[in-house]
Amino acid sequence: MATATAAKKKMVRINGCVAAAQAAKYADVDVIAAYPIRPYTATMMALAQMVANGELDAEYIVADSEHSQLSISHGASSCGARVFTGSSGVGVQFAYELYSPISGSRMPVQMMIADRTLDPPGDFGSEHTDALSTRDMGWLMGWSCDAQEAFDNHLMAYRIGEDPRVLLPQMVCQDGFFVSHITSDVELPDSGQVKEFLPPYKHPYPLDPRHPVSHGPQIMPEQGPPLQLERARAMEDSMAVIEEVHDEFAKIFGRRYDPWVEEFMTDGADVVFFLQGAHAVTARFAIQHMRDKGLKVGLVRLRTIRPYPTDRVKEVLSKFKVVGVIETNMGLGGVSSGGVLYGEVCAALYESDRRPLVLSFMAGMGGEAIVLKEFYWMAERMLDAQKRGKIEKRTHWVGFEE
Amino acid sequence: MSTKGTHIPERLKIPFAGITPAPTQEKGQDLFPTGNWRSIRPVYRDKLPPCNNACGTNEKIQGYLDLVKRGKYLDAYALIKEDMPFPSVTGRVCYHPCEQACNRGKYDEAISIRAVERFLGDLGQALKRDVVKAGKSNGKKVAVVGSGPAGHSAAYQLARLGYGVTILEKSPKAGGLNRGGIPDWVLPQDVLEREIKRLVELGITIRTNVEVGKDVSWDDLKKDYDAVVLAVGLTEPNSVRAEGENKDGVLYGLPFLRDIGMGTSKVKLGARVAVIGGGNTAIDCAREALRQGAVEVTMITVEGNREEMPASPEDLHDMLEEGVELMHGHAVTAVLGNGKVETLQLHPARFSGAINASPITVNREVPAEQFHVDHVIIAVGQHASLAWLPAEFKTERGTIKIDRFGRLGDTNFFAAGDIVQLGSGQPLMVVNAVGDGKRVAFNLDKVMRGESLEPRTIPIDVIFDLNRMNMTYFPHFPRVHQTLLPPASRRKTQQEVIQAFTEEQAVEEAGRCFSCGTCNACDNCYLVCPEPCIARPARSNGLYKILVDYCKGCRVCIEECPTGCLEGVPELDFDTGVVRMDTAFAISPGLHGRQAEELRHLGERAAKNI
């Protein structure tokens, strides 16, 4: 087992990449599988320094590709190591083969994602499509909106994924640049607190020459479904664990997050934005300005998309008249002809007695910032729909319409 | 919650995430029988190695080389004895067609099979009791006429089959050509003596000085025995039909050697000796002549060069080393001299057709050459003496007429060896005579038991093509050579020329065998199987087992089999031990049936629930 240097609680000013690296250090990871790609690279640079400086005793393996990164992670986790890896954009895609095997063999690998738009062309701005394209591969997944939350999510994800009731890999996502490269104040905990919160990783059947076992053997077609069912159960069973862990995190570290959704100024709101990740920060300012004008606008930020909190989303969003989903992802030819989040929202609301109208906004694409006036424009579309009691147009490409 | 209320039926309960004991552990593969994915099944199908195929008596050569390699000398000896009564003899005298056929010869150098055979033969000679036992007596009596290689072999096999065998030998000592045709410095008398003793130990009666046609008649044989094997050989030397051939000092090859072998020779050779003939007997005569006191020995052949000579290249080489001169392209047209040979008259000559059985064209238009000699030894083949044989069983070429099973008509008489093989295209070799004797013994047994004689119908698959093996597993490695006595010293002694292998040499040489097409338990399949689906209950030949419930037919073992004995056979060729795609679901019995049942009652049930 690697041993991180003991540290006292302190405030530091770091960006999201370094926050993720710090979290890996505090989690005392055993194996780090690295391969560079913007914007997540800075995380691996920070970890390389920590290992080089002796702050962290871990195997730091530079892979020859993302596919190898994830293969290394799979193998290392199978042997009982706590593993940290990460990627961005097309790098996430290149490792695609490994996502199902890792979750199927129930290896709690952790992968940091700093989002990047997929090619073409070589746009390096943040867009969630990279990670979201893997959303059904059996990985726990959620977005942070700032560096502190990123740090906290990484620690919590290890605790959740390694819980014997769960044993699933985790994608801990943050927007490229908006979180990964913007510096903010982050409270780093006392290492004793982390020790209390995160027990050492222990897989029930690690690869060990003294007790040979077979991981991922070939099976008969009829033997597949029970395994899939068990993976589905693990994903569902993780929901209770996620709630427990968030409670315990709050107790130990003093920061309390709703595990599923953050509601911001939703009291008395008629229309709400529904989004994931960094644009929530801008949204909060926009909402405050609109509230000052007397407009009943609020924000619901999804913190965990896998497992998807269907009932919670239904319960929360049913309170409002209009929901504006800000996608920040591509779902070409999909249910809304826009992003994939719209479908998830609508499906959750389908069984509601009080279904709000749902609009889909294609905003923040390609890593563009969603500026305040775009939030106002979107709010106008939502209020208009509220007034009419129906929607004229389901999906809007923000910035490209009058 | 989609998984609420779900349960996994007992028969499908599997360990966490399908993690199972490793395939190498107990029950490591029980969970996932993946054999139904297979379209090709690996099957161990031993082919006939070319050496076994080429051997006149089909010795299991690959088999005994493999046993020698493993240090199982006694097992190897027992194996060779199945087909060969006297490996100590053939280990010395055989012209080893096996080595000519050896695939290793196409790669670097052929295996020195004969030397390993001699190693085993000598081991057998040293045994107090032979490993071979006589069969349980069936009360039937068989006479074997002649105790040369064919008679010896037939008698040996018949004794093993339970027959009461009597060998009738016209000479004072048993052995036939083995004794009378092979010099001591190739085959020491005591070696042959011990092999003949082994026959007696098997319960065989040997009656010497009994000649068919003189001491025993055809009718006697018919009356006194249930069956007879005629292995009388070719006893009469051919003449060169030269004028004056009846002069003193004219000797014939086989009688010359035979008299020395029997110890009855009264010949004292002069200084200059000519040997007429280009075959192996001629070579033996030339080399023997040196040992009998000749100073200059010249071999005169009709063949125009060495390559045409129907002789073993090794023996030819050793003869030349000993100082025998060669004179090609000449025939003796007259033996000149006053009562005793003094000069040979030679004319240029050549074979006008194929070697061995063709007329000789002599050019008498050029002046004759005179070649001074003290003795001449004529060694141009032999023919039979069959005055005692009923005419109906004689062929035009003076041999015994047999069917393809070696039987004389529908009688209980069989014939084997040179007496039937002369002119058949089969080279007249000891090993061929042994094989003939063996086959005739088995055919005789079938006739005695009232079984019908059927020719072999299954085609034999002999590996001649190195591409059918995986040659990457065979590094080049030179042949282990037997040591020879130095030519200068050996040409005057009766000491054995070719020296035996040491144990280490025999093992090293046996280890070079490719084991062409035949499993030699190298463990490669066992090691390369990625699953593994190959069981190895015991490390000996043919005992690997493909676990057909799990083998997916990936072909790795087949491709990586060094010997080429593993073959991929289409799964559809099998009707047992298979999990086919169409029966795959039978692993969970009745699954499909149950579904069908549910489907039939679907409507009623839905209604009831309402």
At A185-225, the pLDDT tens digits run 999 999 999 999 999 999 988 999 888 888 887 777 778 89
Residue B403 CB: number of other CB atoms within 10 A? Answer: 12
Measured from the Cβ of residue B392, the count of other Cβ atoms closer than 10 Å reads 9
The answer to whether A204 contacts B16, with C-beta atoms less than 8 Å apart, is: yes
Which residues of chain A are within 8 Å of residue B31 when distances are taken between CB atoms?
217, 219, 223
Nearest to A399 by CA among A356, A357, A369: A369
Q: Is the Cβ of B17 closer than 8 Å to some Cβ of chain A?
A: yes
> For residue B574, is it within any domain?
yes
Question: Both A225 and A339 in a single domain?
Answer: no
Helix (H, G, I), strand (E, B) or coil at B151: helix
Q: Quick check: B12 and A220 CB within 8 A? A: no
C-alpha closest to that of A29 among A184, A198, A148: A198
What is the greatest pairwise CA distance in chain B?
A: 133
User: Which chain A residue has the Cα nearest residue B551?
Assistant: A218
Question: Any idea which residue has 């096999």 for tokens?
Answer: B157
Q: Mean pLDDT over residues A105-112, rounded?
A: 97
Question: Does residue B312 contact residue B348 with C-beta atoms inside 8 Å?
Answer: no
Residues 6+ away with beta carbon under 8 Å from B372: B272, B342, B343
SS3 A286: helix
- Following CA atoms B595, B601, B602, B608 in sequence, which dihedral angle do they give, to the nearest 10 degrees? -140
Q: Is residue A376 part of a domain?
A: yes
Question: Is the residue at A26 inside a domain?
Answer: yes
A79 shares its domain with A131: yes
Q: Answer whether B32 sits within 8 Å of A220, measured CB to CB.
A: yes
Are B584 and A220 within 8 A, CB to CB?
yes
pLDDT of residue B580: 46
Residue A1 lies in a domain: no
Identity of the amino acid at A160:
I
CA nearest to A309 within chain B: B1
Q: A381 vs B353, which has greater pLDDT?
A: A381
Q: Tell me the C-alpha distance between B348 and B331, whole Å.
A: 6
Q: Tell me the CB-side half-sphere exposure of residue B516, using CA atoms within 13 A.
A: 26
Which amino acid, residue B166? T
- What ipTM is given for this predicted complex? 0.80
Residues B212 and B293 in one domain: no
Nearest CA in chain A to B4: A233
Locate the chain A residue with the closest alpha carbon to B21: A213
Are the C-beta atoms of B157 and B134 separated by less than 8 Å? no
Nearest by CB to residue B19, choosing from A213, A225, A233, is: A213
Question: Of B316, B318, B319, which is closest to residue B305 (Cα–Cα)?
Answer: B316
Same structural domain, A86 and A217? yes
Indicate whether A5 belongs to any domain. no
**Hey, what are A163's tokens?**
């819980």
CATH code, domain carrying B478 = 1.10.1060.10
Last residue of a domain, one of B379, B413, B432: B379
- In B, which residues are within 8 Å of A105 by CB distance? 17-19
Helix (H, G, I), strand (E, B) or coil at B594: helix
Report the residue from B17, B28, B591 with minimal CB separation from A227: B17
As for how many domains chain B has, the answer is: 4
Q: Does any domain span residue B68?
A: yes
| Same-domain check for residues B42 and B152 | no
Residue B16's pLDDT is 85
Contacts of A109 in chain B (CB under 8 A): none
- Nearest C-alpha in B relative to A307: B1
Q: Say whether B17 and A105 touch across the interface (CB within 8 A).
A: yes
Domain count, chain A: 2
**Cα angle, residue A126 at apex, residues A120 and A129 outer, rounded to 5°:** 65
Distance in angstroms (rounded) separating the CA atoms of residues B296 and B286: 10
Q: Do B17 and A232 touch (CB under 8 A)?
A: no
> Does B371 share its domain with B257?
yes
Q: Is there a domain that residue A373 lies in?
A: yes
* Mean pLDDT value of segment A247-269: 97
Give the range of the structural domain holding residue B303, as residue numbers without chain letter.
240-379
Same domain, A319 and A248: no
B367 and B284: one domain?
yes
Q: B502 and B529: one domain?
A: no
Of B8, B17, B22, the CB nearest to A229: B8
Q: Based on the fold, state whether residues A111 and A241 are members of the same structural domain.
A: yes
Suggest the residue from B4, B12, B531, B585 to mutate for an interface test with chain A (most A CBs closer than 10 A): B12
Interface test with B, best of A214, A238, A310, A312 (most B CBs within 10 A): A214
Contact B158, B441 (CB under 8 A): yes
C-alpha–C-alpha distance, residues B202 and A82, integer Å: 77
The residues pairing with A261 across neighbouring beta strands, listed in sequence order, are A302
Q: Determine whether the interchain pair B8/A212 forms a contact, defined as Cβ–Cβ distance below 8 Å.
A: no
Sort B418 into a burial class: Cβ within 10 Å, 0-12 / 13-18 / 19+.
Answer: buried
- pLDDT for position A67: 98
Q: B580 in contact with A at a CB cutoff of 8 Å? A: no
Closest residue in chain A to residue B6, using alpha carbons only = A229
Query: What pLDDT was estimated at residue B593?
Result: 40
B32:A215 CB<8 A: no
Query: What is the interface size between A and B, counted as CB pairs within 8 Å?
Result: 83
In a domain, B592, yes or no: no
| CATH code of residue A115 | 3.40.50.970
Are B80 and B29 within one domain? no
Please indicate, yes or no, whether residues A248 and A265 belong to a single structural domain of this protein. no
Nearest CA in chain A to B20: A214
Residue A112 CA to residue A175 CA, distance in Å, equals: 11
Minimal CA–CA distance to A150: which of A308, A300, A43, A4?
A43
User: Residue A88 in contact with residue A16, Cβ under 8 Å?
Assistant: no
- State phi, psi for B237 to the nearest 5 degrees: -70, 145
Same domain, yes or no: A152 and A43 = yes
A214: nearest CB among B1, B2, B20: B20
Which of these, B561, B567, B557, lies nearest to B470 by C-alpha position? B561
B247 lies in the same domain as B371? yes
Paired with A143 in beta bridges are A173
Question: Residue B468, SS3?
Answer: helix
Helices (H), B140-188: 149-160, 177-180
How far from B250 is each of A236, B224, B243, B274, CA to CA, in Å? 109, 41, 12, 10
Question: Which of B3, B14, B21 lies nearest to residue A227, judging by beta carbons?
Answer: B14
Domain assignment of residue B210, yes or no: yes
Q: How far apart are CA A77 and CA B365, in angstroms?
A: 98
Q: Domain containing A387 — which CATH number? A: 3.40.50.920
Q: Are residues A370 and A243 in the same domain?
A: no
State yes or no: pLDDT of A5 exceeds 60.
Answer: no
CA proximity to B16, closest of A94, A227, A233, A157: A227
Domain boundary among B320, B344, B379: B379
Nearest to B218 by CA among B437, B429, B469, B393: B393
Tokens representing residue B213 in the block = 């046609």
Q: How many helices (H) and strands (E) does chain A have?
A: 13, 15
Helix (H, G, I), strand (E, B) or coil at B416: coil
Q: The CATH number of the domain where B532 resides is what?
A: 3.30.70.20
Are residues A164 and A273 both part of a single domain? no
Contact B23 A214 (CB under 8 A): yes
**Does the residue A2 lie in any domain?**
no
Q: Is B1 close to A205, i.e. CB distance below 8 A?
A: no
Range of the domain at A273: 261-397
Residues of A with CB under 8 A from a CB of B: 104-106, 167, 204-205, 212-223, 225-227, 229-230, 232-233, 236
CA terminus-to-terminus distance, chain B: 24
Most B CBs within 10 Å, among A166, A207, A220, to test the B interface: A220
Residues B68 and B102 in one domain: yes
Nearest to B155 by CA among B436, B530, B437: B437
Chain B CB contacts of A233 below 8 Å: 3, 6
User: Are the C-beta atoms of A363 and A378 separated by less than 8 Å?
Assistant: yes
CA neighbours closer than 13 Å in the CB half-sphere of residue B426: 21
Query: Does residue B226 belong to any structural domain of this protein?
Result: yes
Whether B588 and chain A come into contact, CB under 8 Å, resolves to: yes
* Shared domain check, B96 and B167: no
Average pLDDT over residues A297-317: 98
Q: How many residues does chain A have?
A: 402
| Half-sphere exposure of residue B114: CA atoms within 13 angstroms, side-chain side | 21
User: In chain B, whose CA is at the least distance from the CA of A310?
Assistant: B1
Q: What's the pLDDT score for residue B243?
A: 86
Tell me whether residues A232 and B2 touch, CB distance under 8 A. Answer: yes
* CB atoms A230 and B8 under 8 Å: yes
What does DSSP say about strands B227-230 and B413-415: parallel, antiparallel, or unpaired?
parallel
Distance from CA of B546 to the nearest CA of A (A): 17
Q: Are strands B236-237 and B382-383 parallel, antiparallel or unpaired?
A: antiparallel
In one-letter notation, the amino acid at residue A304 is: T
A contacts of B585 (beta carbons < 8 Å): 222
A165, A166, A223, A306, best to mutate vs chain B, most B CBs in 10 Å: A223
Same-domain check for residues A55 and A190:
yes
Q: Can you state the angle between helices B430-448 and B149-160, rounded to 10 degrees?
A: 40
Instruction: Show the CA angle centred on residue B214, arms to residues B211 and B217, nearest 5°.
Output: 90
**Of B448, B473, B495, which residue constitutes the final position of a domain?**
B448
Co-location of A232 and A367 in the same domain: no
* Residue among B1, B2, B22 whose CB faces A213 most closely: B22
Q: Is B8 within 8 Å of chain A by CB?
A: yes
The residue among A230, A253, A276 that closes a domain is: A253
Gap between the terminal Cα atoms of chain A: 59
Mind telling me how many Å the CA of B610 is from chain A's nearest CA?
23
Candidates B3, B18, B34; nearest CB to A229? B3
Option in A204, A222, A227 nearest B18 (CB): A227
Residue where one domain finishes, among candidates A201, A236, A253: A253
User: How far apart, in whole angstroms, are the C-alpha atoms of residue A60 and residue A171?
Assistant: 19
Q: Are residues B124 and B225 in the same domain?
A: no
What pLDDT is attached to residue B582?
A: 44
DSSP string for residues in A10-77: EEEEE-HHHHHHHHHHHTT-SEEEE---TTTHHHHHHHHHHHHTTS---EEEE-SSHHHHHHHHHHHH
* Averages of pLDDT over each 10 residues, chain B, 610 residues: 86 81 68 76 90 94 95 96 96 94 95 97 94 95 96 97 96 89 91 95 96 93 96 90 89 91 86 94 94 94 90 92 94 92 93 65 90 94 90 90 93 94 81 96 96 83 90 94 90 90 96 93 90 72 75 92 91 60 41 46 59
Beta strand B413-415 pairing with B40-44: unpaired
- Give every CB contact of residue B209 below 8 A, 6+ residues apart in sequence: B169, B170, B171, B172, B215
Residues 30-59 in B contacting A (C-alpha not used; CB under 8 Å):
31-34, 36-37
| Nearest-by-CA chain B residue for A214 | B22
Give the residue from A193, A223, A253 where a domain finishes: A253
Say if the Cβ atoms of B23 and A106 lie within 8 Å.
Answer: no
Angle between helices A341-349 and A310-317 (to 10 degrees): 80
Closest CB to B22: pick one of A167, A214, A220.
A214
Tell me whether residue B594 is in a domain: no
List all residues of chain B from 534 to 563 with a beta carbon under 8 Å from chain A: 552
Residue B249: give its domain's CATH number. Answer: 3.50.50.60
